[in-house]
Structure 1
Amino acid sequence: MTPERRPLLGASSDLSRTTYHSERSSLSEHSTVVPDQDDLLNTFTRAQSCCILAGLWSAVFLGALDGTVVATLLAPIGSDFKKSNQASYIGTSYLLSVCCFTPLYGRLSDVMGRKGAMLLALSLFGSGTILCGLAPSMEALIAARALAGMGGGGVMTVSSIVVTDFIPLNQRGLYQGMANILFGLGAGIGGPLGGWINDKFGWKSAFFFQAPVLLFSFTLVAWKVNIKLPSEVQNLPLSEKFRRIDFLGSITLVGTVGSLLLGFSLKTTEELPWSHPIVYGLFTATFVFAALFVFTETRLAPYPVMPLRLICRRTPLAVAMSNLFGSMAAFSVLYNIPLYFSAVHLYSSADSGLHLLPHSVAISTGSVFAGWVMRRTGKLYTLNLFSALSALVATALLVFWNRSTPTFHLWFDIVPQGFGMASVITCTLIAMIAGVEKHDMAVATGITYLFRTTGQVLGVSLSGATLQAVLLQKLRQRIQGPGAMELIYEIQHSTSIIPTLPPDLKEAAISSYADALRVVFICQAAWNFLAFLCCIPIQESLLPGSPHHAQNNED
């Protein structure tokens, strides 16, 4: 398919009046170009821009840090409350809440303003985090994590929207890459930091220590994030602004996403059969809510929370689906690579996790590289396809891993996955912003994050369900006799038992995990292949400020 090539700021596009002109650097002391009145809305000095970015990116850093800190604390929390079987719900409740509420912030940022939406997100995230440290029971902790998730999704979404408001389009990929570096840094140090705090002060302190960073971010956002909206929105009375909130669409969207993800999560976590009333009841509710959502968005809502006209267009649809499938593969890799080393190679938890270090470095490098290339060339189509292909090749290499695979491959075969997927995420966000009109940018950003976070939960849930199904089948084939079912149950739920087994049972367990994980790796490759296919229809756009764009203007 031949990509459509058109300048982003063509004369016929609504983007011709956007604030993101190539001639204006967002970090310059003064704006040197004054095309029209709207372009003067959000012009900041270098110091102001740095303060704004510090407030936004400290929240992004904390959101990533919080995720890995909590993942590290699941075992001690479960032991403390004597409810280890419910520990996985701590992460699931947060992710479900993030997925459900992320798309709402796109419209909220238009109604409440960027500052109001960001402060709401930080307030929900912060209050939920503090309540986690005060939780007297496992149920209260799970509810507090769900409250934190209501704000956690907004932190990432509104941060991207604010950067969209005052960073030139040709530089936005580079800034997104820098934000991803902080995200990767937070995710990288969260695990060790959470473990150290737990050992020294107890797991509850790991939630309280986040308060200073939260306060720092909240203060800077309240003080410096003074983003002005167009006058037709800015001057509306408060009652009219709230009339623009699509409450019915929001409720049905939350019902659709929540029922879908909760159904997959319960199927995996509780090992319920597909025929269980709760499982098929949730999937039935998904279709009902989805039908109501489509009806609401097309017939009832004057300002829909997710305009279906955007999803039906070529580039936004391709971006959404590539983010969905790419995130499914990426998070399946993150969760299953350590399991491979602990169950098949019998490495310790620390050594298994250490094999993700090159992958983490590649994620930061890929984001910055994509931003730098887009800034230099003004193009993203070829870069996006190359990046998606890199991720596909990496996951295909994992399929051929076995116990005799050279050490080099075990360390570095996943590097192209991290590099490629980070680059795809950066490129597709810019493609989404470039592919919609100015007044749809905030909502389109929210849609991107919705599909991305939904893919994360689906990737973990589906790969977990696949792993357990194949593993159970293989273990039943290889382990038989008295006490077989009890032993199989223990092997399924804890890899630490494998080294203690007799040689024949140990070999059966290792081989079963290897076979099951190979099927998971095949699924990851298939998801990355679908992500690559979805990248093909994305339109090529010449970013303003690039040499090619300048040459086209001269011609």
Structure 2
Amino acid sequence: MTALDDQSTRLPKSKLILLCFGLQIALFLSFIDSTSVSTILPIVGSELDATNSITWAGTAFLVANTSFQVITSRLSDCFGRKIVLIGSLFLFALGDLLAGFARNKVWLYCSRAIAGIGGGGINSLSMIIMSDVVTLRERGQYQSLLGIGIAMGSGVGPFLGAVLAEKATWRWTFWIIAPLSALTMLLIHYTVPLKPVSGDLKEKLSRMDWIGSALSQAMTVCILVPLSGGGSTFAWNSSIVISLFVIGGISVIGFILVERYLAAFPLFPGRLLLNRNVCLLLIQTWLVGIVYYGGIYFVPLYLQNVQGYSPILSAALLLPLVLGQVLTTTISGYVVKFSNRTWSSFFVGFLLWTAGQSAQLCFRENTAKGVIVGCLILQGFGIGSTIQSTLVLAQASGPSSDRAVVTGVRNFARTSGGAIGLAIGNSILQNVFLSNLPAGLPEADAEELAINFEHIQMLDKHLAVGVRDAYMQGLKDVFIFFVPVVVICLLMCAFIKDLPLDAPALPMLPANKTDGSLPDCIDTTSEENKSIPTAAIPVLQMMEKVRKS
């Protein structure tokens, strides 16, 4: 089987700017959708009689979003970027439309899963397409523009959800996304270049790693669902949690074997783990997901449940983080373009992020708004300097044929890290909170507070103060957990090699052989393979040695 088609193309400046705008809008909507739900969940749970399980609206979206990141990336290699992105936008719009009409919790959760599938495709394909149409050196600048869409969506989402829920109905949080997604589909249709992928339908279908896709779905769902629901929806020692973990573990083993021996075009090529830069950047991105999504989730809880701010005010206080992220995302893009390097950008970013995350440890029940804003701005500066520059370096560290899969795996690493980080953070919060509740609090009130903090409004004023103190102690321990995670990301920068972005790209790699062996590209004496850069030879030779051993 031949190599995957190279879908790179170059566009005139005017068309490139229009394309970038369309992809920005797609990412903006995707991140609005994923972040707006957090502020409306209590209202939705009350209306649909699902207070005890309403967090599954977020879990269903996150699990579906995570599990389809890599699959949609590889689908775009086989069928073309444009059709897969438009299909993702359609599923995204359909899921939100259905969620807006939800009449019960099962309807809502299924709708959120559909939207999550579409959102996962949007997140990966937008970055892949932008990488296709600009040179490696320009990617920092243009990926940073996409990062602005992500930052704005993350900031506007909670604010929009709170305003619509208070002034109209929570259903408009979903309904407003559907028509905007439809308009974005039209914009994408006219701006994304259509570069046909060779082969008939049968050949395109044969390129897709269907077994690996099924196993990746199984392992993602069976691991993330118990991690998200363990300790709250399910007991950690319950049969369903144990069974899901066992099935997930078996699926991981099966996935590794299929990717190694059966898949012609693996969803996760093993050579990525033999590439030091890519491997380290994926681990770093996974850790980033823990802190990034944790901040989006736990800081609003602090502002609302400890400080007592309204959902609208707490969302407004998150805007400094967004503005800081937008500013440094833009600056870092130009720094990468003109310096031809990425390392300094994300190293400084992790320094700032570490400082901002450490400063967050000073948050207390009476912390002034100015201190909160200052900490969030500092974190925003760090986030904006790291998110896109690390992606550019990951893409630069491998062959062009791996561009889509590197992007998809990187996004998978970030969102799966976020899911695991939220699970760990929630576990810390609940355990510390419940163990520090006031001694005079009735057991029934403690059980109700564990699933619905708004129950604090029904308590005596003296008890309510003690409950807020206990909740603050739980959040403080969560914030402490995040600090060493960011520090590890900072320290990992010392082991990541900076690469010039104008170096020749590594060649497109052909498919694996049917016996699981590597392509015939190790023989560097052949005329066909003389173009392989010297830096790539040791990696390819190491892969062959591993296979033979």
- CA spacing shift, 1:538–1:298, aligned 2, 3 Å: same
Aligned length: 499
* AA matched with 2:48: F
CA shift, 1:413, in A, is: 1.6
* C-alpha contact 1:180 1:364 (8 A) present in aligned 2: yes
**Residue matched to 1:252:** 215
3-state SS of paired residue (2:244): helix
**Which one of 105, 118, 127 corresponds to residue 151 of structure 1?**
118
Asked whether the equivalents of residues 66 and 120 of structure 2 are also in contact (C-alpha less than 8 Å), the reply is: yes
Q: Match for residue 472 of structure 1? A: 434
Q: CA deviation at 1:463?
A: 0.5
Once the two structures are superposed, residues 115-173 of structure 1 have per-residue CA deviations (whole angstroms, 9 ceiling, x without a partner) of: 11112211221222222233332211211111111111011111111100111222211
- Equivalent residues in 2 for 1:396-545 (5 A)? 396-403=358-365, 405=367, 407-475=369-437, 478-480=438-440, 484-498=442-456, 501-502=459-460, 504-544=462-502
2:149 is the counterpart of 1:182: yes
Shift in alpha-carbon separation, 1:352–1:126, aligned structure 2, 3 A: closer
Matched with 1:84 is 51
State yes or no: 1:129 paired with 2:96: yes
- Which residue, out of 253, 257, 266, partners 1:291? 253
Matched, 1:60 2:18: no
**Counterpart residue number, 1:164:** 131
1:243 is matched with which residue? Answer: 206
The answer on whether the counterparts of 1:431 and 1:538 sit within 8 Å (CA) in structure 2 is: no
CA drift of 1:239 comes to 1.2
Asked whether the 8 Å contact 1:479–1:488 carries over to 2, the reply is: no
With structure 1 as the length reference, what TM-score do the two structures score?
A: 0.84
CA deviation vs aligned residue, 1:39-98 (integer Å, no higher than 9, x gap): 9x6222233223322332221121122223333332332222222223211111011000
- Choose the corresponding residue for 2:72, options 97, 100, 105: 105
1:453 partner amino acid: T
Q: Select between 197-206 and 483-492 the one with higher mean Cα deviation.
A: 197-206
1:330 aligns with 2:292: yes
Deviation at 1:298, TM superposition (A): 0.7
2:302 maps to which of 333, 340, 361: 340
Q: Secondary structure at the match of 1:536?
A: helix
The AA in structure 1 aligned to 2:483 is: A
Relative distance call for 1:383 and 1:130 in structure 2 (3 A) is same
Q: Deviations over 1:196-221 (max 9, x none)?
A: 44456533343333233222221222
Post-superposition offset of 1:178:
1.5
Distance 1:244 1:193 in 2: 42
- CA offset at residue 407 of structure 1? 4.8
Which amino acid letter does the alignment assign opposite residue 123 of structure 1?
Answer: F
Name the SS for the 1:539 alignment partner: coil
Distance 1:512 1:175, change over 3 A: same
TM-score normalised by L of structure 2: 0.85
* SS of residue paired to 1:292: helix
- Partners of 1:51 and 1:383 lie apart in 2 by 27
1:414: Cα distance to partner? 2.8
After superposition, give the CA deviation of every residue in 1:275-323 in whole Å (9 maximum; x if it has no partner): 2222222222221111111111111111111112113321111111111
Distance 1:84 1:160, change over 3 A: same
Distance 1:261 1:181 in 2: 28
Kept in 1, the 8 Å contact 2:159–2:312? The answer is: no
**Once the 2 structures are TM-superposed, how far is the Cα of residue 502 of structure 1 from its aligned partner?**
4.1
Query: Which amino acid letter does the alignment assign opposite residue 498 of structure 2?
Result: E
Q: Is the 8 A contact 1:249 1:301 kept in 2?
A: yes
Residue 249 to residue 532, structure 1, CA distance change in 2 (3 Å) = same
Equivalent-residue separation in structure 2 for 1:44 and 1:379 (angstroms): 24
Q: What is the distance in 1 between the residues matched to 2:75 and 2:303? A: 44
Equivalent AA in structure 1 for residue 439 of structure 2? I
Kindly indicate whether the alpha-carbon contact (under 8 Å) linking 1:330 and 1:418 is maintained by their aligned counterparts in 2: no
Letter in 2 for 1:519: D
How far does residue 375 in structure 1 lie from its aligned partner after superposition?
A: 1.3
1:355 pairs with 317, 337, 347, which one?
A: 317
User: Larger deviation: 256-265 or 63-72?
Assistant: 63-72
- Tell me the C-alpha RMSD between the 2 structures: 2.4
Q: Deviations over 1:94-113 (max 9, x none)?
A: 11000011111221111011
2:185 pairs with one of 215, 218, 225: 218
Residues 197 and 347 of structure 1, relative CA distance in 2, 3 Å threshold:
closer
Deviations 1:395-442 (A, max 9, x none): 222223334655532221232222212321111100111001011111
- Percentage of identical aligned residues: 27
Question: Per-residue displacement from partner, 1:202-245 (whole Å, max 9, x unpaired)?
Answer: 3334333323322222122223322436xxxx322221111110
